[in-house]
Amino acid sequence: MKHEYLLEQMKSRMPEKRFIHTRGVAETAIQLAELYGEDPEKAEIAGILHDSVKYAEQEWLRSIIVSQNMNPVLLDFNHELWHAPVGSYVAKTEFQIADEDILKAIEFHTTGRAGMSKLEKIIYVSDMIEPSRKFSGVEPLREKAKIDLEDAMTSCIKHSISFLIEKKQPVFPDSFHCYNDLIQQRGKVKE
């Protein structure tokens, strides 16, 4: 079974706590995929692989961003963001994942972006609400995810942006574009 192989590969690449998180993201992604009519297998694969290089050396991550001509703006932001686009590259080159939707879900699971697919939203939300996450405000996000994926995604990106602003950290432009796109898709902003 490919999923078991991928899980074994992830277990050897990360601490136990992160592996528990990874399994939680995959399981949450399956549930949301089933709820919202997305392919559960694709959701599981993206969930398993989303943090595949989270613990890779910073210089190696940088070298992949440069050598693969990824968005150079990434290098102006915290290296914590780098594992997502490099993880997408690794999913494609090391694990032979060819499905562009899975690759984009991995690539944008930390920042979001304008024009996200349903799978991308499922992985972004699953990463934030999986069962081992413990932060103030996670329960309302979990409840929203059971009712409306768009509302959950909007609330999750808003939470992420607000957290960064509160910590006086820069916010990657894709996150603002994601939030604006979600709001504009829903029509007139409510007063």
Tell me the per-residue pLDDT of 53-112, one tens digit each, with 9 for 90 and over.
999 999 999 999 999 999 999 999 999 999 999 999 999 999 999 999 999 999 999 999
Give the single-character DSSP code of 14: S
Number of Cβ within 10 Å of residue 136's Cβ equals 7
Distance from the Cα of residue 184 to its chain's centroid: 21
Contact (Cβ atoms closer than 8 angstroms) between residue 28 and residue 131: yes
Tell me the per-residue pLDDT of 9-31, one tens digit each, with 9 for 90 and over.
999 999 999 999 999 999 999 99
Q: What are the extents of the domains in the chain?
A: 2-185
Distances (CA, A) of 2 to 66, 94, 95, 184, 188: 30, 13, 10, 39, 44
Q: pTM, whole model, 2 decimals?
A: 0.94
Fold adopted by 2-185: Hypothetical protein af1432 (1.10.3210)
Instruction: Please state, in angstroms and rounded to a whole number, the distance separating the CA atoms of residues 16 and 11.
Output: 7
Dihedral angle sign, alpha carbons of residues 143, 21, 55, 83: negative
Three-state secondary structure call for residue 173: helix
